[in-house]
Amino acid sequence: MLAKEMISDVIPTLRTSDTGISALNWMDIFKVSHLPIVNDKDFLGLVTESDIYDLNIPEEPLGNHQLSLVRPYLHEGQHIIEAMEMASKLKLSLIPVLDTRKHYLGVITTTELLHYFADFAALKNPGGIIVLELNQNDYSLAQIAQIVEGNDAKILGTFLSSSANTTQIKLSLKLNVTDLTSIIQTFNRYNYNVLSSYMKHDDEEDLLEDRYNLLMKYLNT
């Protein structure tokens, strides 16, 4: 999915004539901690809650203050994964999207990103999770998929994480089966380090589904 396909149609933009108080009110209504300041079609930057709280006179127009506006944005044709990377790195509650002429189109909220990636990562589908630890040089998704599929299972989603100052990575696999016994045995036979596994039983599967539903309910409040 491209960035332009996830633009929100409800998040307002600010003008330099808007006050800090007005900006805080909009942030509270839409549950965000950033809002874009736009002059006609030109994206000037994001103003944050902390920027406004630092103002001596928040009742004055934003244009009366020297704001240190950050200007992160995505081009409309960039993939949505890049939005998640940017939001995580910069701790943003929304990401502006610009067209090829760098005109402002709208924003993508991190709440919508979470909804999208919950579906993208197959979190709602029943199945088990296996976490592997391996060296970066030994990582081969093709071989890992072959082991899983050799045990009559499918990989629904993957999540890769690493820590600084180490060559070790952790790979979380979401599978379409809950009985992981034979798959774990095969990984062990191929000298993979299985750190943990989850949802071997139906009650654990129900528990994860309940937690997912609670997460969705929280995001919608």
Each residue's pLDDT tens digit, 168-220: 899 988 898 988 999 999 999 999 999 988 864 454 455 555 555 665 565 55
- Do both 136 and 49 map to the same domain? no
Statement to judge: residues 109 and 90 lie in one domain: yes
Indicate whether 130 and 202 sit together in one domain.
Answer: yes
Q: What is the dihedral of CA 3, 76, 38, 32, to 10 degrees?
A: 10
Into how many domains does the chain fold?
2
Same domain? For 126 and 109 the reply is no
- Last residue of one domain, picked from the residues 92, 117, 142: 117
Torsion of CA 94, 110, 77, 85, to 10 degrees: 100
Query: Which CATH number characterizes residue 40's domain?
Result: 3.10.580.10
CB contact set of 45 (below 8 Å; sequence gap of 6+): 36, 37, 67, 69, 70, 71
- What radius of gyration do the chain's Cα atoms show? 22
- Residue 105 sits in the same domain as residue 15: yes
What's the CA gap between 57 and 65, in Å, rounded? 9
pLDDT tens-digit readout, 114-167: 877 766 555 667 788 899 999 988 899 999 999 999 999 999 888 787 766 788
Same domain, 48 and 107: yes
Range of the domain at 47: 3-117
Identify the band that residue 111 occupies on the pLDDT scale cut at 50, 70 and 90: confident
Q: What is the pLDDT of residue 203?
A: 45
Q: Do 80 and 113 have their domain in common?
A: yes
Could you tell me the pTM of the whole model? Answer: 0.64
User: Which of 87, 117, 147 is the C-terminal boundary of a domain?
Assistant: 117
Residues 8 and 110 in one domain: yes
Beta-carbon contacts of residue 116 (< 8 Å; ≥ 6 apart): 1, 6, 80
**Residue 101, helix vs strand vs coil:** coil
Nearest to 34 by CA among 67, 63, 66: 67
End position of a domain, from candidates 117, 151, 185: 117
